[in-house]
């Protein structure tokens, strides 16, 4: 699996159709991965909005449950976020809000 940069549009949306699809086995679902860094400053709060069970989220190498959690707050500092999207099943939006 190779990695390549992709840029969001002016409205901060990421065109999922342009992401590479990774399918390790014929019988498994195709997944696309997005990796990015978030820096939370002093006094700011970062919230993840979890949509469905059709994504996987890891923050700082730790799995973050989707579906059942609406907000997961991040501490001050830099965080690496990896989002895995099950391409043929994902029908929603995922966002991260920093206030």
Nearest 5°: the CA angle 48, 69, 87 is 70
pTM of the model: 0.75
Cα–Cα nearest to 65, from 55, 73, 75:
55
User: Could you tell me if 23 and 76 are in contact, meaning their C-beta atoms sit under 8 angstroms apart?
Assistant: no
pLDDT per position as a tens digit, 43-89? 776 666 555 578 888 888 887 765 444 456 677 889 888 888 888 88
């Amino acid at each position: 699996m190779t990695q390549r940069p992709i840029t969001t549009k002016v409205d901060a949306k990421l065109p999922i159709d342009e992401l590479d699809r990774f399918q390790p086995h014929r019988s498994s679902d195709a997944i696309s991965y997005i990796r990015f860094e978030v820096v939370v400053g002093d006094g700011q709060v970062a919230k993840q909005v979890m949509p469905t069970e059709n994504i996987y989220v890891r923050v700082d190498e730790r799995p973050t449950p989707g579906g059942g959690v609406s907000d997961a707050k991040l501490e001050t500092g830099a965080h690496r976020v990896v989002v895995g999207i099950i391409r043929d099943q994902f029908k929603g939006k995922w966002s991260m809000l920093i206030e």
